[in-house]
């Protein structure tokens, strides 16, 4: 029996195990999918030794960038983005693993947000957060001809801090993507500190968080008439892309 799984920390919020269990049962695939909560990315080699049946892994917070030094090869997208959320596990003749990293976040994100974009309105985007998922979002927005700028708590070259987000800026940046865990269960009352009162029906708010389905970030945007979308469809799309990568 082939095994697949998710590595990250914490994993209590993950939907992946249930998604793949249903997929395997529906399609008659002889495989299982488990969560592997690792205290550090340094525990990955031992996991691969302990579970020789592993053929593929998804990677989530906080290891999308930390996993890179442990990989033997990267797809072109993963190289460009600098973050990995899918690992295909090959086994050499002697049984030792050979690992290739991919990025399916960019696939899920671009396919999910594309139908909501209006070319005449949505030309510039704020990307909240600077972790591994944000790198895929930045690359995905550029591929959709939207100019993204990062927002973080501390000043970074070419980006903004939250304190610099004025009502005037929000008139220009009509797409706002939350790539932070703010608002994720169980901390459902938290949200990124942006001037929500300046949002309009021209704005599009997209949250990579999917639990809860409506975060405080999205709730406040909807209250101002903005178009809002959570990350659930993106998650489904990137999970399906993961399966394709594992079975190349």
SS3 assignment, position 221: helix
Q: Is 64 considered catalytic here?
A: yes
- The 3-state DSSP composition of the chain as helix, strand, coil percent (nearest 5) reads 35, 25, 40
**What are the distances in angstroms from CA 142 to CA 81, 106, 183, 225?**
12, 11, 26, 26
Q: Which of the following is catalytic: 3, 21, 64, 155?
A: 64
Q: 156 near 164, Cβ under 8 Å?
A: no
Q: Please give the structure tokens belonging to residue 207.
A: 């949250």
Q: How far is it, in rounded angstroms, from Cα 192 to Cα 195? A: 9
Angular region, 144: left φ>0, alpha ψ -120 to 50, beta rest: alpha
φ and ψ of 143, to 5 deg: -65, -20
Q: 238 near 110, Cβ under 8 Å?
A: no
Instruction: Please state the separation of Cα 52 from the chain's center in Å.
Output: 27
Query: Where do we find the tokens 């001037």?
Result: 195
Active site residues per annotation: 64
């Amino acid at each position: 029996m082939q095994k697949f799984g998710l590595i990250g920390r914490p994993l209590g919020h993950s939907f992946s195990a249930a998604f793949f269990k249903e997929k395997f049962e529906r399609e008659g695939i002889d495989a299982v999918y488990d969560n592997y909560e690792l205290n550090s990315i340094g525990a990955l080699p031992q996991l691969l030794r302990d579970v020789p049946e592993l053929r593929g892994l998804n990677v989530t917070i906080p290891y999308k960038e930390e996993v890179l030094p442990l990989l033997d090869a990267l797809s072109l997208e993963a190289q460009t983005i600098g973050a990995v959320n899918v690992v295909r596990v090959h086994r050499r003749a002697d049984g030792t693993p050979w690992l290739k990293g991919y990025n399916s976040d960019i696939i899920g994100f671009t396919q999910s947000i594309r139908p909501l974009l209006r070319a005449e309105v949505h030309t510039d985007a704020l990307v909240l957060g600077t972790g591994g998922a944000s790198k895929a979002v930045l690359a995905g927005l550029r591929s959709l001809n939207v100019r993204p700028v990062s927002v973080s708590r501390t000043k970074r070259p070419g980006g903004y801090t939250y304190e610099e987000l004025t009502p005037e800026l929000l008139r220009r940046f009509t797409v706002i993507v939350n790539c932070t865990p703010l608002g994720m269960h169980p901390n459902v009352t938290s949200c990124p500190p942006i001037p929500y009162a300046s949002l309009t029906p021209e704005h599009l708010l997209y949250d990579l968080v999917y639990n809860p389905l409506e975060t405080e970030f999205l709730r406040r945007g909807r209250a101002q008439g903005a178009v809002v979308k959570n990350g659930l469809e993106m998650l489904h799309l990137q999970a399906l892309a993961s399966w394709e990568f594992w079975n190349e």
